[in-house]
Amino acid sequence: MRPSPLRTAARVGAILAVAAPLAVLGVRAYVRLTNRPFYHAATRRIALPGLSEGFIPQDLFYCEGSKTWLFSGYMNDGSSSPLYRVGPNGAVSRLLVRLADGSTYSGHGAAITAAGSYAFLSVQDGYAVMDLDAVLSCEDGGFVQALAHVPLELVPAFMIVQHRTLYVGEFYYPVNFETPKSHHITTPDGTRNHAIMLAYPADPAGHYGFAEEAARVYSIPSKVQGMCITADGRMVMSRSWGLGDANLAVYDPARFTDDGTYHVDGHDTPLTCLDGRSFVEQLRVPPMSEGLDSRGNQVFLANEAASDRYVIGKFYRGGAVYSLEV
């Protein structure tokens, strides 16, 4: 005798009612177990803003003078991409950016950083320049008008100002996120890197405080979502892809060498290749790590896993900024 559709549906519902909580517990247990050293050493700082509104955070930057956090990212529904601002008292504000061409920004929001009087937001072929005071004082729900657009010779996936240098790098993952063949470099120790990072030193006469030409090109590994430099000079890269393993790769600039030159911004620029010669250690972190910032030797991590697009991070308290001493 064949079971009735209603009885079958009831059985399926009962199975799902048991399986769903078990799956949640399984995910939580797996992430907590495989990232035990991280959770033992890391400190939970502040909640990532906008998660309940469909925001998918990509980067973060701390403005020391105003004790304010800035977050960039995009929206799950494809609407205009906001900046979120978290003040020293925890107040959260949501801002939209009007680009120099008059359009409202709706890109990936891969990177946000600031220096001097300006804030910089990554766009598809460069970065938008905004008045930092305008970003910090804009009312909740208001618009910030970009002052200019600065083009770059790569698609920026991360960007940060540290140690008086603007670093801008790209993301590589085969098939999904390809980079130009000219960016694929075999390093002196035989490592095959597929992406580059450009370093622009501070220059009052340059583009909004930085030189118009890169002073150095770095050949970097794949899957880099963010980068920062600690107070003692170590270079830390956030590497992740999807729900797979994520890590912080740490390099020692004292071991960097000149590895030839690379032609960018119209001239041959010193090249440094990141590979095993300068690699120090790899620290495992929860899945879907994104942009980084640093204060002293503390590295602060953004993460997109708890957004409504991916959800998984909601099961293991992934909706927060964590810091870790490197």
Question: Which residue is listed with tokens 């603007």?
Answer: 166
- What pTM did the predictor assign? 0.92
pLDDT number for residue 24: 53
pLDDT number for residue 20: 44
Under-70 pLDDT residues of the chain:
1-26
pLDDT number for residue 19: 47
DSSP 81: P
pLDDT number for residue 11: 57
pLDDT number for residue 163: 95
DSSP-H helix ranges across the chain = 5-34, 36-41, 132-137
**Alpha-carbon separation of residue 320 from 52, 84, 120, 316 (angstroms):** 13, 14, 23, 10
The residue among 57, 274, 55, 276 whose CA lies nearest residue 169 is 274
DSSP 53: G
Beta strands 192-193 and 216-220 are: unpaired
Query: Measured between alpha carbons, how far is 92 from 44 in angstroms, rounded to an integer?
Result: 18
pLDDT number for residue 29: 81
**How are strands ordered across the β-sheet holding 235-239?**
224-229, 235-239, 246-251, 279-285
3-state secondary structure string across 194-236: CEEEEEEEEEEEEECCECCCCCEEEEECCCEEEEEECCCCCEE
Q: What is the enclosing helix (H) or strand (E) of 94?
A: strand 92-98
What are the structural domain ranges in the chain?
A: 1-34, 40-325
pLDDT number for residue 207: 84
pLDDT number for residue 173: 97
**Is residue 131 a contact partner of residue 115, using CB atoms and an 8 Å limit?**
no
**Alpha-carbon separation of residue 268 from 57, 152, 169, 260, 264 (angstroms):** 36, 16, 18, 9, 6
Helix, strand and coil percent figures for the chain, each rounded to 5: 15, 45, 35
The residue among 131, 110, 103 whose CA lies nearest residue 119 is 131
pLDDT number for residue 22: 43
User: Does the domain made of 40-325 have the CATH classification 3.30.43?
Assistant: no
**Is residue 97 a contact partner of residue 146, using CB atoms and an 8 Å limit?**
yes
pLDDT number for residue 181: 98
